[in-house]
Amino acid sequence: MDAGMNTSTHLKAQARCPLQEHFLPRKSSKENLDRFIPNRSAMDFDYAHYALTEGRNGKDQAAAAVSSPSREAYRKQLAETMNLNHTRILAFRNKPQAPVELLPTDHSASLHQQPRSVKPRRYIPQTSERTLDAPDIVDDFYLNLLDWGSANVLAIALGHTVYLWDASSGSTSELVTIDEEKGPVTSINWAPDGRHVAVGLNNSEVQLWDSASNRQLRTLKGGHQSRVGSMAWNNHILTTGGMDGQIVNNDVRIRSHVVETYRGHTQEVCGLKWSGSGQQLASGGNDNVVHIWDRSVASSNSTTQYLHRLEEHTSAVKALAWCPFQANLLATGGGGGDRTIKFWNTHTGACLNSVDTGSQVCSLLWSKNERELLSSHGFTQNQLTLWKYPSMVKMAELTGHTSRVLYMAQSPDGCTVASAAGDETLRFWNVFGVPETAKKAAPKATHEPFSHVNRIR
């Protein structure tokens, strides 16, 4: 009995090893190849009944009796008339369709019509291509514990520890384990350079780490009074959102790092995203409000007034995504009491569209290659849904998680999406396809003369 307990404990420990491949039993592709399902629409039931009853009796009687030339001629004529010359009873495919006329009768008119090139429908795999174990991931809607850096390294916070998974090699390393009195980790975000990563903590502090040397660079203190659940980089500015409702811009280059404070939310800030231009910041809170902030009207070390206050959501707003092909378009998703995805013109503050998804919206990602939007959800299906924009027609629903899909991150090339859920798994989906390779090569940049020589200032 002790041996059995030790074996089960050992297996459980193996299963909970962070970021190890999670294998699921799959059916062999060679199974059930002996099953042939007949196609009823292609069968002649009258003939089948005749062949199984009267036809067989007739054949037996004909064989027994002495056949005469007149009787044989009559039998052949009857078989041709009743179409009884074929021998198959069960049909497994329909008859081929009649050939379609390739050219219309009026050839002169067809010459003036150019055929339209139809784009083939992209194949979207319905199952995750890889599943890793993510034990002890915090199942908290208001946190942000997953991010994929520009150097193709994925960072995930599991409890008090931050792990790095190199997507190029598949290797895993531990970045840092936070002390009990400071943790757990409540947010994580890569800097644009793909080397430095910010780690938000439960005790209101933010640590900056160099992933290449596994060295802590500094700790940002004093910006918040409670946990830091959301972060977003804008060049050298790290914006942090806290449970205290405050949003702080931190200039990581200087000692007095707090340069701007945005006040407008009355509850925890759970979503932060800078626009592609770096001029506008979107923030979502547990107060069901979305704010748009503009850096051009920000004043140093003072309370900053928001540009727009969007109050149409009826639940907490964590999911935020700026459109990559339309600068002033923002998508937002509401929590369990709202369940909608809304689209905003951030220049005017107008709501352009609202789509009821039927379940809690936890995260949103735009495709970098197509006009598509991916959303992750909670109860009841815990699915990822791919939408065509702007029609918002569902292109695919990806299932596999058994708990709400709280976190999503996109690979640098824009093709693969990683999702993490409360079921303690990290799944990778090839949902956005492969970018077009037949694009025109970018013109080579012209270098300045003597650009390789160090300049003297």
- What are the mean pLDDT values of the chain's consecutive 10-residue runs (457 residues total)? 45 62 53 51 61 56 58 70 55 55 45 55 90 96 98 98 97 96 97 98 98 97 97 97 97 96 96 97 98 79 81 98 97 97 97 98 96 96 97 96 97 97 97 64 41 39
Cα 200–chain centre separation: 24
CB 155 within 8 A of CB 147: yes
Q: Do the strands 303-304 and 258-263 form a parallel or antiparallel pair, or are they unpaired? A: parallel
Cα 227 from Cα 242, distance rounded (Å): 6
Predicted confidence at residue 42, as pLDDT, reads: 57
Cα 347–chain centre separation: 28
CA distances in angstroms from 121 to 165, 235, 367, 433, 439, listed in the order given = 32, 38, 16, 11, 19
Strand order of the sheet with strand 393-398? 361-366, 372-377, 384-388, 393-398
Host H or E run for residue 74: helix 69-81
CA distances in angstroms from 278 to 273, 347, 447, listed in the order given = 10, 14, 28
Cα 328 from Cα 340, distance rounded (Å): 20
Predicted confidence at residue 23, as pLDDT, reads: 62
Predicted confidence at residue 24, as pLDDT, reads: 52
- Is the whole model's pTM more than 0.85, yes or no? no
Predicted confidence at residue 13, as pLDDT, reads: 43
Give me 342's structure tokens: 């809304």
Predicted confidence at residue 163, as pLDDT, reads: 98
Give me 282's structure tokens: 């979107």
Predicted confidence at residue 71, as pLDDT, reads: 74
CB 313 within 8 A of CB 340: yes
Cα 395 from Cα 385, distance rounded (Å): 8
Any bridge partners for residue 433, and if so which?
Answer: none
Predicted confidence at residue 14, as pLDDT, reads: 45
Predicted confidence at residue 72, as pLDDT, reads: 75
Cis-peptide, bond into residue 96, ω within 30° of zero: no
* Full DSSP string of 152-213: SEEEEEETTEEEEEETTT--EEEEEE--TTT-SEEEEEE-TTSSEEEEEETTS-EEEEETTT
